[in-house]
Amino acid sequence: MTLPILVVEDDDALREALVDTLELGGHSTVTAIDGESALALLEAGQRVGLVLSDVQMQPMDGEALLHEIKQRQPWLPVILMTAYGVVEKAVAALHAGACHYLPKPFEADRLLQEVAKYLLPGTDDEQVIAEDPGMRRLLDMARRVAQSDASVLVTGESGTGKEVVARFLHRNSPRANKPFVAINCAAIPEQLLESTLFGHEKGAFTGAAGQHIGKFEQAHGGTLLLDEITEMPLGLQAKLLRVLQEREVERVGATKTIPVDLRVLATSNRNVLDEVAGGRFREDLYYRLNVFPLHLPALRERPDDILPLARAMLARHAAQQKRRAPSFNNAACAALLAHAWEGNIRELDNLVQRALILAPGDEIGSEHLYLPPAPAKAAGHGAQAMPFIASPEPVEVTDIKLLEKRHILDTLKAVGGVRKLAAEKLNMSERTLRYKLQQYREEDGELPV
């Protein structure tokens, strides 16, 4: 399987000829009429294996597009096409990251040969592995609801693959050939989230130097994913509810509304009803989003999926490294099945990448998995803390989770409770820190900082 080729060409006839040539050669394609349209597709989540772009385009030419792609997705191969020009420009493009500079006119066979050299292979990134009976039932339900326009709320622990299921819903829906736009409500500062969602007009606020198209408009005709929706501030929840009810958005600083046609999906790693009961999430918005609920089980609750997932990840990462995929031996398989997987699929993916680094040959043993040791039940039995966890004050415990908890809380206290600073000092994302703090709240009933 290969990924589609993004053809960027402002000449309609030439674009159609390129698409015909590529599709007759067995490739799938997506198209853009200029550099800005191409970037919008990529930013909306369109996965491609190669970009084939003309150079002479307005307002963004192929060389500017190359620069932007290499800033955002440096691994993505780009072939530039242009009429015969000076050698220096071709050399400059290659130095800037183009994999090839194809002078026009060229034969169809020549184009197919160059594409075959650089086209990235397809991966299993978006494929949902479902060998576990419970997971298969969930996907059967997902396929059925995908055919409707009903809003779906996907819940589950962090790292269980909620966005993957959201993309599965989109791919199996009548909107599959339209944009899939995802926004992480936890990753965008509160003061920017409204503009990111709804867009803004030039001069709407300090720093608004130009017009910005929001995520709702970008997803018109397709699907919008509101990832970690329970992180959205209450004030913005009210505005979101209105958009979902009226199906129209008003950009910040605008005087008129814009109709939007899209399907809305949302995810959360929290118990949303608890958030509603605690006054942190609007009840009316909950019922608007939760037309069809899907709860994604933790990896430890779907043991039949552990080895198939690990093998699929192994094949994907080995292909990216251009090496032959090794296999897990029996001891490694037993260790994978015995592990608790508190970090779920994300933890498994990290482990597979480590194993590929540590395994010298074509077999991965349990010694290459680099699994953390099981926590000791009592001190004084030879257990040692992991070397990358250090508490500012000595602690008389050998439980690794407790050590990590103490270290996180001490760091948070040292920076006055500012999570951004604490996350930087702990070398973890703010989202991971929030997740861990939420766990501590559930364990202790409060957060002692």
Domain-embedded: residue 242: yes
User: Whole-angstrom Cα distance, residue 106 to residue 18?
Assistant: 11
Tell me: do 99 and 151 sit in the same domain: no
| 230 pLDDT higher than 90 | yes
Mean pLDDT of 356-367: 85
User: Which tens digits make up the pLDDT trace of 51-86?
Assistant: 999 888 888 888 889 888 887 776 678 888 877 555
User: Which tens digits make up the pLDDT trace of 387-399?
Assistant: 332 333 333 333 4
Tell me: do 104 and 153 sit in the same domain: no
Q: Which residue has the higher pLDDT, 424 or 176?
A: 176
Domain-embedded: residue 190: yes
User: Which tens digits make up the pLDDT trace of 83-133?
Assistant: 755 555 666 666 677 777 788 788 888 899 888 877 775 544 456 778 888
Q: Which residue carries 């709320």 as its tokens? A: 153
How long a stretch of residues is the chain?
A: 449
User: Whole-angstrom Cα distance, residue 364 to residue 356?
Assistant: 8
Question: Do the Cβ atoms of 233 and 186 come closer than 8 Å?
Answer: no
Domain-embedded: residue 84: yes
Four-residue CA torsion sign, 433, 436, 440, 445 = positive
Tell me: do 147 and 287 sit in the same domain: yes
Domain extent at residue 269: 133-297
Domain-embedded: residue 71: yes
Number of Cα atoms under 13 Å in the Cβ half of residue 240: 30
CATH number at residue 289: 3.40.50.300
Last residue of a domain, one of 324, 340, 368: 368
Mean pLDDT of 29-35: 92
Q: Which residue carries 């050590």 as its tokens? A: 403
Phi, psi of 122 (to 5 degrees): -70, 155
Mean pLDDT of 405-419: 80
| 426 pLDDT higher than 90 | no
Phi, psi of 106 (to 5 degrees): -140, 155
pLDDT value, residue 396: 35
Tell me: do 246 and 208 sit in the same domain: yes
Q: How confident is the model at residue 187 (pLDDT cuts 50, 70, 90)?
A: confident
Mean pLDDT of 183-201: 87
% of the chain at pLDDT higher than 90: 41
Q: How confident is the model at residue 17 (pLDDT cuts 50, 70, 90)?
A: very high
User: Whole-angstrom Cα distance, residue 444 to residue 246?
Assistant: 42
CATH number at residue 326: 1.10.8.60
Domain-embedded: residue 127: no
CATH number at residue 16: 3.40.50.2300
3-class secondary structure, 325: coil
Mean pLDDT of 318-336: 81
| 378 pLDDT higher than 50 | no
Mean pLDDT of 269-280: 95
3-class secondary structure, 53: strand
Tell me: do 219 and 338 sit in the same domain: no
pLDDT value, residue 417: 80
* Tally of structural domains, the chain: 4
The average confidence (pLDDT) of the chain is: 83
Last residue of a domain, one of 246, 281, 297: 297
CATH number at residue 386: 1.10.10
What single-letter DSSP state applies at residue 181?
E
User: Whole-angstrom Cα distance, residue 87 to residue 71?
Assistant: 24
Last residue of a domain, one of 252, 280, 297: 297
Question: Do the Cβ atoms of 54 and 66 come closer than 8 Å?
Answer: no
